[in-house]
Each structure stands twice: as C-alpha cells, then as structure tokens.
A and B are shown apart, each in its own frame.
With several copies, the nearest count.
Chain A
C-alpha cells in the first residue's frame, strides 16, 4: 500500500552558475546601523533575534553609524588598513609565484582581509587564534616576518616549519597563531580546550577559532559548540561565510535554510551576523564578544558574511562553477576600499598616501620574495633531510633512529 503523495529528493542549487546573473538577495542584509546592540551581559536566550539581524557600521557615505560603531583611534585604523593591504599584495605576489613554479600550492584570502586583521589587532598577545588557511591577515597585523612566510611557502632550507608542511599551513605560537593543518574543522575543539584550560588556570588568555561556511557541516563544529556552551569557555567561534566551499555554494552547509549564525541559538549562545567586509563592524562585534567572555559569560558565535573573491586555491578555476563577475555583484564591496574611504572621510588619509603605501608594501613583499628566492624555491632548496625524522616524538625511538641511519642522513 502506498500513500497518495510520494517523496522527491531536493538538491540545493546556487542562484547562478557560469553564464547566469549573480543574485545575493537571499543574504537578507540590513543597512548600517540598523541592528540593535544588546549589552554584553544579556542572557543568550534573550538574543535569539540577533542571528537574523546584520551588524554593519560603515554606511554608503563611509561614515561609522549606529549602536555598533566602535571607538577606534585613527592610528589603529591605519594599522588595520596597512595589514589588509599587505595581505592582499602578498597574496597576489605569491599566487604568481605559484604560476612561476616557485611553490607547489597557494591560497588567497582576497576580499576577506578585514576579519583576521581587525581581530588580530583587537586581541591580546596572550590570546590564541586557531586559524584557517584563509586568515593570513592575522599574522600580517602582528608583523610576522614576511621572509618567514616566504620561506615556508617555498619549503626551502630556511622554512620555519622545516619542510614538513604544505605551503601556507603556518604555525606561529609567538604570534598567537596555532598550528594549521589541511583537515577542516578539527581544531575548533582545540580552541575550546585551550579556553577551558585558561579558565581552569584562572588565566586571562582567550581563544578564537575560525571555520569556513562549508566546514560548519563537520561534526567537529557541533562538538566544539557543545563543549564551549556546556563549560562556558572563553572562546570566540567565528564562521567566515565567504559563500563558497571550493565549488559548493553555502547552501550545502545549510545556509539556504537558516543563517549560519543561528546555529548558536540551540546552544543558548549569542549568535551575531556581521558584515565581514566592514573593518569597524568586525571590530565592534569582536569587542562585544570579548567583553562577554571577560565577564565569564562564555562563548559567542559570530558569522562574518564575506565573499571569496579568488578561486579556492591554485588548484581550481572558479569561472568553471560560478559566474565570472559574481564578485562584482556581491553587495558588501571590498573591505580594503571601504576602510580606505572611511579614513579619507575621516580626513586622515588620501589617495596619494594610499598609493605611496601600496608602493612601500609592494617593495617589502618583493624584497621578501627575493630574499626567499635567494635561499631557494620549490625543489631547489630544502631543509636538511634529517628534519624528516625530528619531532615525530619528543625523543625518537629506535625505528626513527634506524631509518634515519638507513637513509644516511
């Protein structure tokens, strides 16, 4: 016996494929200044509207408006602009280095620079970021040496990670930057554990973790949220929703059904949805979450709405799966341009200085790349082969000793 109505399988589809017209109306954005700003001490359950709001500070006239407008010294804004510009210039140049065969792999964060840069500047030296591969801005904001980045990317003799990692999977403990890996999502619970440890020790170091929109589908995401919520860990859990996961649009992570920030609700946590291309909004939302954590009220989930302007990595051509001009239709603009215009509107910046800074940063990147090239690029230079056998354990066991001997290194 069959029922009269039978089922059919729904497969989500993005608003447009190559050749189509991009459409971002599903994002349900709000104008700058529209979203309310609850006091940081508000109970999680009383902020259930927040994931459906949209926190945005910079308006069309490049002014900071509304309750979320943060107080930031112009100097700090300029530091932010500089780090964002440096990130973009570095990305462009190293992406080209891949085309020239100098490295095996590269990934850009173009269009998403505001998020890690603002957060890196805002958080303290003792806080720890659990990064994705798309938050180079964190290191740039903290003046991580360019040459160390380049050497890691070239896997050369001076690679600080000793040739063991794929390019861009950095680790920089002194810069509050936890060891990256290729696996998606698996370090979000490390951030929670770190934060629990800090809380247990009565320390004041907080943790901040990033995952991409696609990665929210992993079970690890849920387990991290559960532990963070249950133990009220001082951790900021950030989703960088750049609309794409390689070729899959965010609908495959469920973003077509509900904003990803609303995942917070089921854990009683505040979930903020923030303009990720607005340096000031990123800053303000982060500051709010930090304040909350410092009041021992635990974690906040923040979804940053942004756009992955480049391909996923050097391994894909995005025009194969999305309209070639989609980036131009993205309604939140370019984070660098927006901060630049805001600074100009503030009267502390102008086109000439901007051009000069661009030139300066480009020179710095060129110099670093040159310096790295002098050590050697992919295949030309690498750390001593015995490094392959180090750090497997705190001290090697007989297997590693014998094998190293067998290889004669």
Chain B
C-alpha cells in the first residue's frame, strides 16, 4: 500500500500526501489562495490541479474566513476539505471560524454535525520573511479545545501525519515549518544550506501510510535531561544537545493536541531534568503548558527547574531574526544550566 520509497523534501512529501488522498478519496478537495493552477507559493500543490482536475484543487478568493467557513460547510456536508492558508500569520482573519465554529460544531450539535477539515499552513520563522511570514501561533490553537494541532519536523512524518489529519474526524490545524521545507536547519545561520537528500526521514513511501496523531517520537535517547521540541526546533535541539555535551533525550512532540503526555512524563521521570524549546514568543506560549504539565506530573523526580528556551516577547523582528530565534547555543546554555543543579 505504502509502496516504494523515494527521497523527498518535506514539500514533496506534503504534495505526495495530497496527491495520494485526492486519488484515493473523491471527497477530498484541496483549495486555497494560489493553490490551483500555480500550485501554491511554496509549491505544495504543484501539479495537482492538472492531474486531478479543476474542481478537485482550485484557487479561492483572498478571504481566509471564507476559506475556512466554506471548508466547514463542506465538511458538514460530508466532504474532507483540505484548505491552505498561505502563511499561518494570515490564519487570524479565520480565527473566529476555527474557534467558534469548527472547534465547537460537533459538541454544540450533540454530534449531528462536525467539521472534518484539515487546514494546512506554512509556519514559523527562519526565511527572512519578516513579521507576517514567520510567526508560530500554536499556543493560540492549543488552548482551543476541539481543535487538533500538528507540527511535523521531517518529510516522512509530514506525509504520514497529513494523511492521518485528512482522515481524522476532527478539525486539524496542520502547521508546516517552512524553514525546513527543502532541508533541515539546525539554527546556525552561517552554515551551508543542507537539503533533505541523505536524511533517513527523507525516505518516504510513494503510497498511502499514516503517522498517528498524538504520538511523540524519541529522536535521540539520553539519560541526563529531556528536551521537548517540535518543528524546526527539533533540528536546532539536536545541534544544541551536541554542542552542550549533555546526554539529553530529545522528544519530537509532532502533535501539540492531542499531546503525548506519556512519552513526556516517562522521559522526565527518568532524566529528572527538562528543557522546552519553541520558536514562538515565550509568554503564555505552549512551553508554559508543557512546563506546568511536567511539573505537575514529575515534581518529585525533578532535580532542577524546568527551563524554557523560546522566541523573545517581541513581535517577529525582520533583521534580528537570528537573534530572535532560539539557536543551538541558547539550548546548550539552558542544558548546562539545568545540569548545574
């Protein structure tokens, strides 16, 4: 079923997931600004309109609320729409639709209606996109019960998680770390650009497979501290751990909601130390929830305060992008700090 594997970038893996689902399920529609003929500003939908037809993959008006609202109506009808928001920064005009409608529909209707929609969107920083092409709003979705929030960190997961999202019965916000669309990024801006070729996670089956929502993965086993990360920051974390020399366990959450609480607590119970890493601004970010959960569930195992490494509490600052984004150095410093105690 999953077929032959081949090396794919993350953007190719996403394209492949959409292609597979369009072919498999006539109820899947793909739409958004510039996703039709053009194939999307990041090429995620390239070739899909030509292959599957004008009514399967098409452009929309520039109206994010309308895109999501129509997707909800299609979902309630019985389709499985996959809507693209061109940059996740531009999801905010649709925030009310997602929170007040998509997330509540099943509950308030006593299960009569639901919105099995998937909202894909390029997410996060690192491409010199400035304020409105760089933000990381996962906390704004995590707090909204009824929504699922997924952030993959590599091609294999991206395809498997996207297919699982499309097949899921709940609304899923699928945020794609755009900095790693074409290659991993360890946070060191000066270094040579890498591409996905040769990475084990870039070996992606051509066909249908899923990665379950709500399951984290241990990217690096370790015994002295636990690092929680997702998206681009998984790669930064790996570099930071290496830089620190600490034998840290790195967990890629992959799924913000549902959260794999067991994987997290099992690791911290073992290591007794925890550093949380995300791009988003720190205050009331998702790291706060992670820290609170770890503290509540592993208090007696903790040997040092849980540390958070995150974007500063400023708007996303164009020229200071690399000062703003947490890099391996900041993670290594935090690891060193938690090891002191």
Contacts and interface: CB of A to CB of B under 8 A. Distances in A.
Interface of A: 9, 11, 13, 17, 104-105, 128, 155, 159-167, 169, 171-173, 178-179, 181-198, 200-201, 205, 207, 214-215, 217-220, 222-224, 226-227, 230, 245-248, 252-254, 315-316, 320-321, 378, 382-383, 385, 387-394, 397-400, 403, 407, 409
A253 B132 contact: no
Of listed B55, B60, B320, residue having the most chain A CB within 10 A: B320
B292 to A, nearest CB: 13
B73 A191 contact: yes
A190 B313 contact: no
Nearest to A403: B312
Interface residues of B, number: 78
B128 A391 contact: no
A389 B313 CA distance: 8
28 contacts: A11-B55, A11-B59, A17-B37, A163-B318, A164-B107, A166-B132, A169-B130, A171-B113, A173-B113, A189-B70, A189-B97, A193-B71, A193-B74, A193-B77, A197-B73, A197-B77, A200-B29, A217-B63, A218-B64, A219-B66, A224-B69, A248-B59, A248-B62, A385-B320, A388-B320, A388-B323, A393-B169, A403-B282
A195 B129 CA distance: 32
B258 interface: yes
Contacts, number: 267
Of listed B74, B77, B97, B129, residue having the most chain A CB within 10 A: B77
Nearest to A170: B109
Contacts of B114: 394
Nearest to B214: A397
A400 B214 CA distance: 14
A266 to B, nearest CB: 14
A195 B77 CA distance: 9
Contact of A163 (B101, B312, B320): B320
B41 interface: yes
Interface string B65-95: 1101111111111110100000001100100
A4 B257 CA distance: 45
B181 interface: no
A171 B112 CA distance: 7
A201 to B, nearest CB: 8
Contacts of B72: 189-190, 193
Top 9 closest A-B pairs, CB basis?
A: A193-B73, A189-B69, A166-B130, A163-B319, A182-B132, A223-B66, A193-B70, A247-B38, A217-B61
Nearest to B72: A190
Nearest to A193: B73
A184 B62 contact: yes
B96 interface: yes
B110 interface: yes
B314 interface: yes
Of listed A191, A205, A222, A403, residue having the most chain B CB within 10 A: A403
B319 A164 contact: yes
B275 to A, nearest CB: 15
A215 B313 CA distance: 30
Contacts of A383: 319
Contact of B324 (A165, A227, A378, A388): A388
Contact of A104 (B60, B128, B148): B128
Nearest to A18: B37
B100 interface: yes
A293 to B, nearest CB: 16
B123 to A, nearest CB: 15
Contacts of A246: 33-34, 38, 41
Contact of A193 (B69, B146, B168): B69
A252 B31 CA distance: 12
A183 B88 CA distance: 11
A252 B146 contact: no
A387 B320 contact: yes
B109 A394 contact: no
A392 B221 CA distance: 34
Nearest to A183: B100
Given A196-B70, A388-B323, A164 B33 contact: no
A394 B214 CA distance: 14
Given A383-B319, A385-B320, A400 B314 contact: yes
